Amino acid sequence: MKIAVFFVGEVQDAGFNASALAGAERAGQSPGVAITLVSGVRYDQDEIRARLAEVVPEVDGLVFIGGQGNIATPEIAARYPDKRFAIVQGQKTGPNLASYDVRQEDSAYLAGVLAAHLTLTGTVGHLSGHRVRPGLKGRAAFVAGVAHAAPDVAVLTGFCGTQDDSQVTRAWAEAEIKAGADVIFTMLNDARRGAIEACRAGGARQIGNALDWVARDPEVFVASAMARIDIGVERAIADMAAGHVPGDIVEFGLADGDAVSLRMGEDVPEAAAAAVASAAEDIRAGRITVPDTYDGAEFQPDAALCDD
């Protein structure tokens, strides 16, 4: 079966796409599956639609990586009812369309609990790129985690409009640090480099996401909100190859092995680590419901920096 795996941006982004790529590569080793990678597509719905229209006639199925696919993928799935489609981190389903959601919000909530316990200034930050559903849910969860652990801690939260421009993310992170944030949770791809530079220069700690950033840079990263996007991709491709289209969104959360977790550095105090472990158990047991919406204030360092 010929399956295209469709990426917005570059696959080697040291983040979300890189994790998805690992899953696609493993799935491609399965007998009877031939994987084609489509990448470098800008986050622009017209460009996404145009590229999908080029790719879909040449394959039997397509897996779209990221919530950016929630608009265009259902449209093209309806045009090609004889082909199979899936969105990883998606929210749409149909007769030939499945969605898989690695619950980044679960680990984002734990990141909020940790940030609230670590801050010395009483202010923490959040920085993400595009306003897609997974990122919005992650922001809501992080803010809720902070409030759960320490309601008096202030949160500076913003979407800078890019996942690739490190100059923009550095400016945003610098502005949050200048405004008092000493711990920043980032949901970024290749543009994370700018936030890393800002944190290193400003003496702030960062909590990463998707990959294990603690292992990569323990000086800057105190933790990383792990989300095994690769697991969602593997499952999507396996289901597609088997001809199975789940009717409901398939979720992977804290209760599903290592799909989601918070990786903490060795310098995290025991009390903070214990608070994170307690919150994780409460989420698994259903005693904590992780919210997926946020309607509070947003941080705007400078209107010229925001291109979304």
Tens digits of residue pLDDT in 163-219: 889 999 999 999 999 999 999 999 998 889 999 999 999 999 999 998 899 999 999
Confidence of residue 2 (pLDDT cuts 50, 70, 90): very high
Cβ atoms of 273 and 264 closer than 8 Å:
yes
Tens digits of residue pLDDT in 57-82: 999 999 999 999 999 999 999 999 99
The arithmetic mean of pLDDT across residues 105-128, rounded, is 98
How do 61-65 and 84-88 pair as beta strands? parallel
pLDDT of residue 56: 98
The residue type found at 207 is I
Structure-block tokens of residue 6? 């469709």
pLDDT of residue 10: 87
d(CA 62, CA 73): 9
The arithmetic mean of pLDDT across residues 216-236, rounded, is 96
Q: CA-based angle 280:265:291, to the nearest 5?
A: 30
Q: Taking the alpha carbons of 253, 254, 257, 259 in that order, is the dihedral positive or negative?
A: positive
**Beta bridge partners of residue 260, listed in sequence order:** 227
Tens digits of residue pLDDT in 255-308: 888 899 999 999 999 999 999 999 999 999 999 999 999 999 999 887 545 444
Locus of tokens 């992780």? 290
- Half-sphere CA count of 201, side-chain side, radius 13 A: 14
d(CA 307, CA 297): 18
CB within 8 Å of 157: residues ≥ 6 apart: 125, 126, 127, 139, 142, 143, 294, 296, 297, 298, 299
pLDDT of residue 304: 44
- Averaged pLDDT of the chain: 94
* 307 vs 10, residue with greater confidence: 10
d(CA 83, CA 80): 6
Tens digits of residue pLDDT in 25-39: 999 999 999 999 999
Where residue 211 falls (left for φ over 0; alpha for ψ -120 to 50; beta otherwise) is beta
The arithmetic mean of pLDDT across residues 151-172, rounded, is 95
Among the residue ranges 45-54, 87-96, 129-138, 242-251, the one predicted with the least confidence is 129-138
**pLDDT at residue 234 tops 50:** yes
Burial 34-59 (b: 16+ CB within 10 A, else e): ebeebbebebeeeebeebbeebbeeb
Instruction: Name the residue among 30, 71, 24 with its Cα closest to residue 49.
Output: 71
How do 123-128 and 97-102 pair as beta strands? unpaired
**pLDDT at residue 109 tops 50:** yes
Burial 108-141 (b: 16+ CB within 10 A, else e): bbbbbbbbbbbbeeebbbbbbbbebbbbbbbbbb
First and final C-alpha spacing in the chain = 38
Confidence of residue 12 (pLDDT cuts 50, 70, 90): confident
**Beta bridge partners of residue 267, listed in sequence order:** none
Q: What is the pTM of this model?
A: 0.89
